[in-house]
Amino acid sequence: MKIVDAKLVVTSPGRNFVTLKLTTDEGLTGLGDATLNGRELAVVSYLDDHVLPLLVGLDPHRIEDTWQYLYRGAYWRRGPVTMAALAAVDVALWDIKAKAAGLPLYQLLGGASRDRVRAYGHANGAGVPELLDSVRARLAEGYQAVRIQTGVPGLKAVYGVHTTDEHGAAVLHQGARPLVEDWDTDAYLRHVPAVFEAVRAEFGDELPLLHDAHHRLTPIQAARLGKDLEPYRPFWLEDCTPAENQDAFRLIRHHTTTPLAVGEVFNSFHDYQSLITERLIDYARSAVTHFGGVTPLRKLFDFAAQYQIKSAMHGPEDISPVGMAAAVHLDLAVHNFGIQEYSGHSALTEEVFRHAYTFTDGHLYPGEAPGIGVELDEELAAAHPYAPAYLPVNRLQDGTVHDW
């Protein structure tokens, strides 16, 4: 079998998605997600100008070799643009291989290690009453684990709150410049324990509660928050400090037993190395789409398993249904699955990308369609062209740019 065509579909059914479609001489097609939220066209150019011309004529069955050829052969390694591009190629090749075998992808990854994949959803509220309503809405949708985020008294716009719709899904600002959010770490640190207390008082002790600090804290502030949340037994504290500096986690780990999750912005094994070998985290958050595909992420999770660290793939709406499908197959297959983030997609997105995976009673199921199980409606995709959009930026109250 040979690849005879490689092309990209860029569409915006409410938000931008970049999808690679490979076609073989036997008429099989494979899809891969290359969406890098807010920087989509950089990946389009990387693929169109530098990668797709190399794929035509290759044997699609040679997934490992193609991955190494594109990773090592480029000389310039890693980085979000490169690894999102590689991920799209890798997933499209797995899709073709599984279709050729007539099997759902998870069967090629060793088969199911469990019956279903537990997902967590997002609950957000400007204040505690709105947050409690949002948790109720997620529970009504079937979720059995919920991430909780609120506004902070005195701040106008805070991560995960003002840019979300009634389903908890992030609404991206489409326009020429990013929105600006504001931030005050002391106010946040005072507020969050009270939020957990209120949610526990309302929903009891059993509901797994997650929280995302979105890289905004110093290590000692993160240690403080981890300690303050211990009485409420969070499922995890996510991205508590920027993790480019892996050393920071030693200090945090030393001070708190709150489980730690990190890695949604990582794109290679090397970003994790001491976090794993020193057991500084509990959950590895990378998504197939941003980590170079199923091939390297499977290796990472298998390595992490030796240290009792679990998978917990990033799964917001900016991972397309193609990336989400690949994730659910991998979730089902790896032994050390922890949890999967899942916010769902807009009705229009679900029409553009028809998928075999389903969400019921808080769990995802990959379905039995051969491959990853996603069909792309190219006509509908073309009717919703790319629209420039930015993630927000974050400033302290004196105007200083802060981590987002």
Residues that bind ligand GCO (CB under 6 A): 37, 170, 212, 214, 264, 314, 316, 318, 341, 391
Rounded to 5 degrees, what angle do the CA atoms 19, 20, 21 make? 120
Contact of residue 318 among Mg ion, ligand GCO, none (CB under 5-8 Å per partner type): ligand GCO
| Catalytic residue of the set 122, 191, 211, 214 | 214
Stretch that binds Mg ion, among 80-88, 170-178, 206-214, 372-380 (CB under 5 A): 206-214
Nearest approach in angstroms of CB 39 to Mg ion is: 17
Residue listed under structure tokens 């609950």? 123
Is residue 318 at the binding interface for Mg ion, with CB under 5 A as the rule? no
Rg (CA), the chain: 20
The verdict on whether 159 is a catalytic residue reads yes
Alpha helices for 59-154 (secondary structure H): 63-72, 80-101, 105-108, 128-141
CB atoms within 10 A of CB 166: 9
Q: What is the 3-state secondary structure (H, E, C) of 329-353?
A: HHHHHCCCECCEECCCCCHHHHHHE
CA pair distance 242, 388, nearest whole angstrom: 27
Closer of 80 and 370 to ligand GCO (Cβ): 80
* Measured CA angle at 240 (ends 152, 155), to 5 deg: 15
CB of 224 to ligand GCO, least distance (A): 21
Nearer to ligand GCO, 98 or 313 (CB): 313
Structure tokens at 67: 């991955």
Judged by CB under 5 A, the residue of 95, 212, 317, 331 near Mg ion is 212
| Binding characters for Mg ion, 259-288, by CB under 5 A (x = yes) | -----x------------------------
**Closest approach of Cβ 168 to Mg ion, in Å?**
13
Residue closer to ligand GCO, measured from CB, 93 or 325: 325
> Does an H or E element contain 376, and which?
strand 374-376
CB of 238 to Mg ion, least distance (A): 5
Question: Any bridge partners for residue 3, and if so which?
Answer: 24
**Which span (9-17, 108-116, 175-183, 212-220) binds Mg ion, by CB under 5 A?**
212-220
Q: Which stretch binds Mg ion (CB under 5 A): 113-121, 209-217, 324-332, 386-394?
A: 209-217
Q: Are 77 and 71 in contact (CB under 8 A)?
A: yes
> Nearest residue to Mg ion, using CB?
212
**Could you give the dihedral angle defined by the CA atoms of residues 322, 323, 329 and 330, in that order, rounded to the nearest 10 degrees?**
160
Active site (annotated) includes residue 106: no
Tokens of 365: 């199921």
Residue 341 binds which one of ligand GCO, Mg ion, none, with CB within 5 to 8 A depending on kind?
ligand GCO
As given in the structure block, the two tokens for residue 343 are 């916010």
Q: Which lies closer to Mg ion via its Cβ, residue 93 or residue 319?
A: 319
Task: Name which of 6 and 169 has its Cβ closer to ligand GCO.
Answer: 169
Q: Which of 159, 232, 283, 357 is catalytic?
A: 159
CA distances from 88 to 1, 39, 50, 101, 293 (A): 19, 15, 14, 20, 7
Q: Which is nearer to Mg ion, 93 or 123 (CB)?
A: 123
Residue owning tokens 């007539």:
102
> Where do contacts with Mg ion occur on this chain (CB under 5 A)?
212, 264
List the catalytic residues.
Answer: 159, 214
